[in-house]
Amino acid sequence: MKGKGEGNSEILEFLSGIPLFSKLSRASLSSLSSECRFKQVKKGEVLFLQSDPPESAYVVSSGKVSIILNSPDGREMVINEMHKGDIFGELGILTNKNRSTSAIARSESELLVIPHKVFLRIIDDEPQLTRRVLELTVSRLQNSSERESALVFMDAQARLAHLLLELDQQEEDKGYITISQEELAQRTGLIRQTVAKALGKWRRKGWLITGRGKIVLLDHEAFKEMETKMLV
C-alpha cells in the first residue's frame, strides 16, 4: 500500500476532513497534526487487546478495522467495524480505563495514531470536541443496542440473513461481499459450522454464490423474508 508521509501538512489536511476534528481551531489542528503519525498495518494485525491500557486513539485513513468483544469462555464477536474517517480507541482514554474490546485490522490499512496525552490535551483545549465525542459514543451505543436486539430475537438463519443484507448494501458498488465464514460467525455470535451449513443450504437453493471469501446475493427478497423470521 502506498502510505502517506508523516509530514504535518498531510496529517493536517487529513484531520481537517474528519467531521470530528474539522471545527477545531487552526492552532489545535496544527498542534494535533505535529504530534500524530500515520501507521501502516497488515491484515490480521492486532492493534490492541481487551484489557490493554489505552495508549492511543486511532482514525482510519484507509482499510477496515474490526472491534471485537471477547467472552470469558474464549468466544469472539465483532460488535463494530471502523472504516475511513472513523475514530476508535478514544473511550478508554476518556474514562481512563483499560480497553473493553479488542481491535484487529480486517484488511491492509493505514491509521492515524493519536497518543493518549495528546488526545486529552486537545479535549481540554477544545471543550466542544467533548460534546461531539459524546454524541459519537451515544450513536454507537444505539447502534450496538439495535444489533444486540437482533441477536436476541432472531434465530440463527435470520441473524445471518440480516448481516448479509447489511453487508451487501455497504459493498453495493463492488457487487459482492468480501468476508470469510469465520468473520460471519464472529459478527453473528454463531459457530462457523452453523454459518457453513446455512450458506450451503442457500447456495443449493440458488439464493447466493460463494467462493474464496466472496459472496454474491442473487435473491434479495428471499433473504429479506428470512430476516423477518423471529423466534417465538
Q: Write the CATH number for 185.
A: 1.10.10.10
What string of pLDDT tens digits covers the 232 residues of the chain?
A: 444 444 488 999 999 999 899 889 988 999 999 999 999 999 999 999 999 999 999 999 999 999 998 877 677 788 888 999 999 999 899 999 999 999 999 999 999 999 999 999 999 999 888 888 888 888 887 777 666 666 667 888 988 998 899 899 888 777 899 999 988 998 888 889 999 999 999 999 999 999 888 999 999 999 988 877 654 4
| Half-sphere exposure of residue 49: CA atoms within 13 angstroms, side-chain side | 1
What are the two backbone dihedrals, phi and then psi, of residue 210, each rounded to the nearest 5 degrees? -125, 155
Is position 232 within any domain? no
Quick check: is 21 in a domain? yes
By residue range, what is the domain housing residue 204?
154-227
Last-in-domain residue among 123, 147, 171: 147
Residue 3 lies in a domain: no
**Helices first, then strands: H and E counts in the chain:** 9, 11
Counting the structural domains of the chain, the total is: 2
Residues 159 and 59 placed together within one structural domain of the fold: no
My answer on whether 132 and 188 are in the same domain is no
pLDDT of the residue at 8: 81
Contact status, residue 188 vs residue 159, Cβ threshold 8 Å: yes
Question: Is 213 inside any structural domain?
Answer: yes
130 within some domain: yes
- Considering the domain architecture, whether residues 90 and 58 belong to the same structural domain is answered as yes
What pLDDT does 4 receive?
44
Confidence at residue 119, expressed as pLDDT on a 0 to 100 scale: 94
Same-domain check for residues 124 and 162: no
Same-domain check for residues 192 and 123? no
Helix (H) or strand (E) holding 124: helix 116-125
* Residue-level pLDDT at 150: 63
Asked if 87 and 191 sit in the same domain, the reply is no
- Looking at 130, 147, 164, the residue that finishes a domain is 147
CATH number of the domain residue 137 falls in = 2.60.120.10
C-alpha cell at position 78:
465483532
The model's pTM is: 0.74
pLDDT at position 7, please?
A: 45
- As given in the structure block, the three cell numbers for residue 44 are 490480521
Q: What share of the chain is helix, strand, coil (3-state, %, to 5)?
A: 45, 25, 30
